[in-house]
Amino acid sequence: MSHEARKKVGKLFASAWMSDDVRSTLKADPHSVLADHGIDVPKGRKVRVLEDSADTVHIVIPERPSHLSDKDLASEDVHADATKFIC
């Protein structure tokens, strides 16, 4: 995710934290809220919004990079740099 996209997502998170309406609409209709905040989602891509709480944390396993073999994935270099695959 680009720096600019991260800024847009951060602004959206702040809006959702400040407004129950934004948060509930984001959960109910994420595509329109993302579009309203200038965040492009490829057509046909599903979006699921989950909310962490004091006692629940969600961990998302990113899609496996198709260009990396099992040998590549076993590499310490990939382990050290795995965060680049996180949005």
Please give the tally of structural domains in the chain: 1
Taking alpha carbons only, the member of 84, 24, 79 closest to residue 32 is 24
* Residue-level pLDDT, tens digit, the chain, 87 residues: 788 888 999 999 999 999 999 999 999 999 999 999 999 999 999 999 999 999 999 988 888 888 878 887 787 666 666 666 555
The three state secondary structure string of the chain is CCHHHHHHHHHHHHHHHHCHHHHHHHHHCHHHHHHHCCCCCCCCCCCCCCCCECCECCCCCCCCCCCCCHHHHCCHHHHHCHHHHCC
pTM (predicted TM-score):
0.73
Domain housing 61? 3-85
How many other C-beta atoms are found inside a 10 Å radius of the C-beta of residue 14?
Answer: 11
